[in-house]
A and B are shown apart, each in its own frame.
Chain A
Amino acid sequence: MIGFTTLENSGFLFNIYIGILLAGLIGIFVVSEKLKPYLSALVVLLVSLITSLIAIQGINSNGLEFLIPGGSFIGDIPFRIDALSAWFMLIINLTMITGVFYGIGYLRAYKPIKSIITLHWILLVLFQSSMLWVCMVQNSIAFLIAWEIMSLSSLFLVLFDHADSKVIKAGINYMVQMHLSVVFLTVAFIWVYFETGTFDFKGIDIYFGSNANLWLFVVFFLGFGLKAGFMGLHSWLPHAHPAAPSHVSGIMSGVIVKMGIYGIFRVITFLKADFILLGEIVLTFSVLTGLFGIMNAAVQSDFKKMLAYCTIENIGIIGIGIGVGLIGLGKDQNVLIFLGFGGALLHVLNHSLFKSLLFYSAGSVYQQTHTRDMNQLGGLIKKMPQTALLFLIGALAIGGIPPFNGFISEFLIYSGLLAGIHSVDIAQTTLMVVSVAGMSIIGGISVFAFTKTFGTIFLGSARTELHQEPREVSKIMLFPQYLIVLVMLSVAFFSGYFLNVILTILNGSFHVSMEVGNVDYLRYSSVLQHISLYSFLFLAGIGLIYFIRKSITKNRESTYQSTWGCGYVAPTSRMQYTGKSFTKPLSKLFNFVLIEKKNFNELKSNEIFPVSRKYSSSYLDFWEHWLINPATKYLDLFIDLFKFIQNGRIQAYVLYGIIFILIVFIGTVFHSSLQ
């Protein structure tokens, strides 16, 4: 909290920002349908520009603060932008810019009614601002309002395809779960308010200073974890992401889940005690989250659902970093804090990059083929080579494979775990080693999952006849994806710069004091520089060997024939290995987590002339199947008991009114007579 400076300048920028936002919202409403997308993109661009300026000031000046009058109820709303907020704001802005440009191209294929498209663009602009507010405001009530605008605007963005009942269902699921998250957050904030008497976030700081830290943190963690999608709290993700239009799923997966991570980080900045216990809890929970997420991702055949589960996996990896950092805080070891939190923060950026890239390229596939079932596709690399390449880059990066950026952040987290192995306590040593093993399995299954997805969608030959020949998507959809690749490569090859920013965040927002000249910092930044260099050499080596191969084989005779079919002369493309068959061995091994549901009529022994029949199989979500569905079922049964209250008779409703007034009246009388 110390070191916040008020800059007149940034208040001025903030006013400009509000002006642009309001003008933009009205403008989008007014202008003709053809201009709406471009105006929205312009507004998003300008808003990003100005808020990024504010954010950069926040990083450089180590914390900005200004008050916005919030009326008599809330009082003055403090806007504080420290390096942590700024980091997340920059990530939001980057993803929003790519998202809005991709969205222009993506929505061209749709020609829905005018009102929907207006609402969509207005919501998109509002969505960006609400996320920025979440990062900036530090007053509980204002925070909850911003949080709610964020949830609702994203809800209506998800509901774009509102004629589809599945989309509506996914939307309701999302809405309910987001409000469950609000319930937890409200409870936590009220708790703080009753103990300290303030809605300002400084109250949380005071609370942690004088009370037990564990339980309040757990309530916050549940609230923010629902947004982030930790295991058990994740079940909205696999429904909402496939339902939303692809640019929205890209943004949601890229940044909205990160708002949960931001919340957790924000609470951690106030923590005072119980670090080690909390670190162990978060670490264990995160390893399980990662494993759960990637296992489910591996078996899904809906590729957007697969990406949604993969988001859960990456939240797990980020969580592992947070856990390591927390243990470091408890042990007062700057190395662990640096590697843990630093790795987590960098992975937040990395994941927002490659996950939005993957969602955009998957969206391009969906736009061209109108199916999300990868087992219907195949051979798209010939029709859509650029999309295939972009998806491949995203897939490699998300698996944490060098020479891409995912490796940098995963390497930091691995190093954190390895540095933590030397802790005195045997419990933590064991936990760290098990986490290293867990991360390696996550990496392994991730290779499995993405080779399957890429191979099934893009390689081989087409499995079914599509209604329309897929073509490469428009330039406006490809451009943002190339932009993302560029940023990804900059993280991979200039990691030192990003590490520097992260050090500023750690120094500014956490209880760390680590100079740029610190031994450990120098050690790891030089290691990262080495990795960048070797990755570059590696790429160069691949290029060189490819060149040699090319020049040697240039004059050799090469012929093209059909694939070796074991002598079978009438192969069809339906005989190819599908994504489902690719993952069958894995799903069989882990059938205690991956519940397969098969729909078919078994052939009876007396059925002499079997008719044609259908077979389908899908995978159920473990937590949804065993916890959430039974719980809602019993809740339904319980609530049914009170059905008689809502009986549809107006007389009864009038009676309820009278009873209510009577209770208020009698209550007041008794209350005053008691005094």
Chain B
Amino acid sequence: MLSLVLILIASLFFTGIIIRTKSISSGRKGPGIFQPVKDVWRLFKKGSVYSETTSFVFQIAPVVYFSSVVMAILVVPFGSTKGIISFDGDFIFFAYVLALGKFFSIISAMDTGSSFEGMGASREALYSMFAEPAFFILMGSFALLTGHTSFFEIFSTLHLGSYITYALGIMATFVLVMIAMIENSRMPIDDPKTHLELTMVHEVMILDNSGFDLGLILSTGYLKFAMYGTLIANLYIGELSLIYAIPAFFFIQIAFAVSVGIIESFMARYRISHNPQFIFALSSVSLLIFLGVLLVLGKFV
């Protein structure tokens, strides 16, 4: 329950901080950090324009996408408090529920019959597919390290004690940050601010969405960012008592948002053809974590 509330709060300002960081680093004042939420609120109040080509898939997809992320958030724990849903192997449920949302957002893009949206859908499907093994190897390694298979038990028993585990923690953070960037279609995988359809990935998929549906999709994006931020925070807060854990949580979320802003300000997007290679390289970082875990457990004889 706690994690749900915290994620909801974090999602209110997360994207705002990214935008603010980008404005400041490019020498502008920028909008307030609640501007994205205000945008969504405005969209909720608007009417919609639908494409004549679309079917019921297009109507239901934003709802499914939103619900899938909410469902995934329910699984995420906060330090030593469980998520609302917690059982052995819940991270598999987490990944596959997210896959349902992805499935629907892809077919809703294809529902418009636009070549641009088909292109975006193809890219999104490809990238998220490549990100999967990195996540699963990471979680598998943690399962091996802690002896548990649910998010809550893994994170609450994860101790960063020796030098190797610090290295593991840093690498795990890197992997999770990158997965978050891929799943949220940010730099260096995708440029949310590009204005050319041909170079978009996620943005082009939602070109035909408007009004309430667009608001739903945008707010899903904010929630998703905060969700991944919470996963990262969970790596560190572990057994901290709530008095320290909650400030630490917000600190990590803000630091994550600021670093996303900085990455986006000073980095260019990768060439589209290089993206899969980059994402696949994440799996090798995950494999390194796995090897590290084997080292920690003394399995190398």
Seen from chain A, the residues whose Cβ lies within 8 Å of a Cβ on chain B are 378-379, 381-382, 385, 388, 392, 396, 399-402, 407, 410-411, 414-415, 417-419, 421-422, 426, 429-430, 432-433, 436-441, 443-445, 447-448, 450-452, 454-456, 459-461, 523-524, 526-527, 530-531, 534, 538, 541-542, 545-546, 549, 552-553, 556-566, 573, 575-577, 581-586, 589
Contact = CB atoms under 8 A, between A and B. Distances in A.
A388 B110 CA distance: 14
Interface in B203-221: 207-208, 211-213, 216
Contact of A460 (B49, B60, B110, B144): B110
Interface in B48-79: 48-53, 55-57, 60, 62-64, 66-67, 70-71
24 contacts: A396-B100, A400-B96, A419-B149, A430-B290, A433-B140, A433-B141, A436-B136, A445-B129, A447-B128, A448-B129, A451-B103, A451-B106, A455-B121, A546-B60, A549-B212, A552-B212, A553-B47, A560-B49, A560-B52, A563-B113, A564-B51, A564-B208, A573-B113, A576-B114
Contacts of A563: 51-53, 112-114, 117, 208
**A440, A526, A561, A566 interface centre (most CB from chain B within 10 Å):** A440
Contacts of B97: 401-402, 538
Interface stretch (B1-9, B81-89, B253-261): B81-89
Contacts of A566: 116, 197
A419 B276 CA distance: 31
B280 to A, nearest CB: 9
Interface residues of B, number: 79
A426 B299 contact: yes
Interface of B: 44, 46-53, 55-57, 60, 62-64, 66-67, 70-71, 85, 87-89, 92-93, 95-97, 99-100, 102-103, 106-107, 110-119, 121-123, 125-126, 128-130, 132-133, 135-137, 140-141, 143-144, 147, 149, 197, 207-208, 211-213, 216, 276, 283, 286, 290, 294, 299-301
A388 B276 CA distance: 31
Chain A interface, >50% SS class: helix
Contacts, number: 245
Nearest to B49: A559
Contacts of B149: 415, 418-419
B170 to A, nearest CB: 20
B27 to A, nearest CB: 32
A556 B212 contact: yes
A565 B96 contact: no
B156 to A, nearest CB: 18
Contacts of A558: 47-50, 211
Contact of B126 (A429, A448, A557, A573): A448
Contacts of B93: 402, 407, 411, 531, 534
Contacts of A583: 122
A258 B147 CA distance: 35
Nearest to A541: B67
Contacts of A545: 63, 66-67
A399 B99 contact: yes
A461 B132 contact: no
Contacts of A456: 110
